[in-house]
Amino acid sequence: MKEPLTVTVLPELQQIFELTERVGSDPLLTQASTGNSSIKLDGVLWIKASGRWMSDALRDDIFIPLDLQAVTADCLNRGIDPAACYPNASLETAMHAVLPHSVVLHVHCVNSIAWAVRSDAPAQLKHRLYGLSWQWIPYVASGLPLSLVIKQRLQEAPDTDIFVLGNHGLVIAGEDAKCVDALLAEVEERLAIVPRKAHPPDYSVLMEICAESEWELPEDDAIHALGTDPIARAKLKGGVLYPCQAIFSRSSSGRFPFRIVEERGVVVHKSIQPAELAMVSGLAQVVQRIEPSAPLQYLAETEVAALLNNRTHRYRQLASAGRAEGRS
């Protein structure tokens, strides 16, 4: 396997850094260490490292350079996930590599996820994304499996530059960062959903729970909707809606980072990690955008089980470590 290539400062890199930082700083576009971006320059695939926060793109070296030919020959052509060959690379390196576009952006927009968890998503999205070169992909595991499906879909429709991933998120690709940024804005405008208003939390009850206990109030008041909104509670009781909900719902020790108090609100564990808190906030934003009558497609138990492996455990550790080092 070839060693990482030497860092080169180029205008195109600066543009992808700026786009990544802006997207990563908007919790409605992506949360914590989720989401990833890449750019292909002179045979090098610059991609966000696993577990790093996109919001740190302008202050930290969160991108790693990979020899694109080596990624293809040593990994993809041999049926090996590049994330296994390059331990620090994004879990979605395979997907970024198979897409022919110069710039690729994968995000977890709360609006797109609110559509992507619906069993009628293709029909709902058909008219909303009319005129754009997009494709719907039912849920498939990240990494090599997702890249194989996207590669097949590109053979069928090579001009596709938008992929809505069932129970997952959104992928946008283009010739440069400016093009991708504009397309993201277009998709976001078309898929925008006004969040449902929830009843205010019962702080008196929540404070009683927090008094001399391991729980405390969350900094984000919007999280309380998970407890005060009966529609949100009903949607959550149905199962797991998307991968990050499962990955960050428990720590490696089995601890729940938050507790829903029905009709009252939410309390979070005092040891909750920044990544976990961001995920809880994102979950609240997603479910508040799902209409009461929407038919949902939950992840199967086998799909959830497949998410909780050693690789995702390490991903959680990397996501938490980035913030523990003092980044904000």
Question: Any idea where the domains of the chain sit in the sequence?
Answer: 11-191, 203-324
What is the percent of the chain where pLDDT is above 90? Answer: 86
pLDDT, mean of residues 273-293: 96
**Backbone phi, then psi, for 57, in 5-degree steps?**
-60, -30
Alpha helical stretches, state H, the chain: 11-24, 68-70, 82-85, 93-98, 110-116, 121-128, 144-156, 177-191, 203-210, 225-228, 230-237, 243-247, 274-287, 301-307, 310-324
pLDDT, mean of residues 128-143: 97
Name the band, by pLDDT with cuts 50, 70 and 90, for residue 253. Answer: low
Name the band, by pLDDT with cuts 50, 70 and 90, for residue 104. Answer: very high
pLDDT at 1 over 60: no
Q: In terms of Cα–Cα distance, which of 113, 105, 116, 117 is closest to 37?
A: 105
Report pLDDT digits (tens) over 218-240. Answer: 999 999 999 999 999 999 999 99
The CATH number of 11-191, from 3.40.50.800, 3.40.50.740, 3.40.225.10, 3.20.20.70, is 3.40.225.10
Q: Are 290 and 121 in contact (CB under 8 A)?
A: no
- Report how far residue 163's alpha carbon sits from residue 187's, in angstroms, rounded to the nearest whole number: 11
Q: Are 193 and 124 in contact (CB under 8 A)?
A: no
**Count of CB atoms situated within 10 Å of the CB of 1:** 11
